[in-house]
Structure 1
Amino acid sequence: MLIDFHTHLDLYKDDELQSQLAEFSGTIVAASIDEKSFLKNCEIEEYARENTGSRIIPTFGIHPNAADENAPLLDAPAVASRFTEYLERSPLIGEIGMDFCWSKCSAENQEKVFRWILEYCDKTGKVCVIHTKDAEQKVCDILKDYPNARPIIHWYDGPENIYREFINRGYMQTFGVETIRSEHLLKLLKMTPPEFLLVETDNPDSEPWLGGTRNDVGLIERVYNEIAGILGMSRPAIEKLIEDNFNRILLN
């Protein structure tokens, strides 16, 4: 079974996504960046469950790009309560984190949102998918304050020393469409314990952003093949490894 651990299904056109899901029988984790995207992902999950063989897992999170809009809302009890309900509905949490590269949101608001959700994850022991772009050290420092949260680092491409610290803390890692294109990511992948490995596409925007032409849900199969080749594993072996890692996340 193929498992795409990180996508943004809400960004697809409905008819395009529906036709693709009809031909896909794996599992897709549908990350959200805010309330609107989470509710859309929940609609997609319902459609897929009733009409396809695909399994969709919607997850609630507030992306650093959405921090300025959402940070003030957390002070409103009704909104905070609603967001907490979304967190409770999500078997995993994400996408959350900090971004000092592309995000135009203030660092203060990013940290406020990040810590608010991490506090929930720390209390519940839930898995949370973390964005770190150019904020790796800040994220590393903040995560120390929430030892019961269970971070998974999404598409890490930062300094090697911080990556080693994440690995030493037991944080799992996702690798995706850029891996085969980057000597740095290839090195990080080979440093990663097999039991820490997950695979993603970050569809639909990441592959076109890198100069590719595909952004369909079936792209995850190519990523599996690439990762298997890099690690010298057979396709059945990499599928079993990722499925075992994924199931361990959901069951623990």
Structure 2
Amino acid sequence: MELDLDSISNDDVIVSSVRIGISEMEWYRRWILERKMASMAYMSNPDGILKREDPSLLMEGAKTLIMFLLNYKTKMDRREGYGRIANYAAFPDYHKFFPELITSIILENGLYREKFKVFVDTSPVLERYWAEKSGLGWIGKNSMLVNEKIGSFTLLGGVTTDISLGTQRFPPADLCGKCTRCIESCPTGAIDENRSINSNLCIAYHTIENKGIIPKSIALTMGDMIFGCDICNDVCPWNSNKRDSSLEMVNDHKFLNVNTLEELVYLD
């Protein structure tokens, strides 16, 4: 099946595809062996590792991964005295609206024969790896997927489908160059030179995934950050002068400036 996915894409959602193959897993296995996933034990689940290596195991008859890149860059009206949260956490849960958006695009364009399976952080898929393979961007030094058009304030999702989509894009060139702003700006040194993150040192991990006590060495670097961290995105030159998303759902900042830091201290 030949389909121009560029005709489906727009300024806020970019779509591309890649034939399913075997993932390059050496870096991932090393990341697991070095325990850089911290307490996220599910990342080392043997069945999950097999599926990350071979996405065809996600669905019988799977032939193609269709990858979706959603721009969520918006202006954040942060108020003094309130805890700072990651930009993506300011709007309603993308795990709900993004799969619905993807499903509607698949159905409207007939991008399946008998079945398809949507994933948005819900399946063991190396989303950034396959997004790069599909031509949506390159994996930057901050480990984020960077798209030349919309930067790295993006959400990734995808579909395993039982059709072949013909010609695919080549992975883009790495345009990080000699820039190391993200590495130098990370207050905990969580960004490794091999473009991966040491979760044990990552503020985003400790304020979202860590269910235990945050180490003092990390807590002292957090300032007013209470959920997530955007520093490595904020300093990336590829996010400068980029167009804000026009999607209504990511401009609904209902969770921004909800509680002051003082109020949070007294929550039980």
For this structure pair, what is the TM-score category when the shorter chain's length is used for normalisation? under 0.3
- Structure with larger RCO (C-alpha < 8 A, sep 6+): 2
The TM-score, its normalising length taken from structure 1, stands at 0.26
* Greater helix proportion: 1
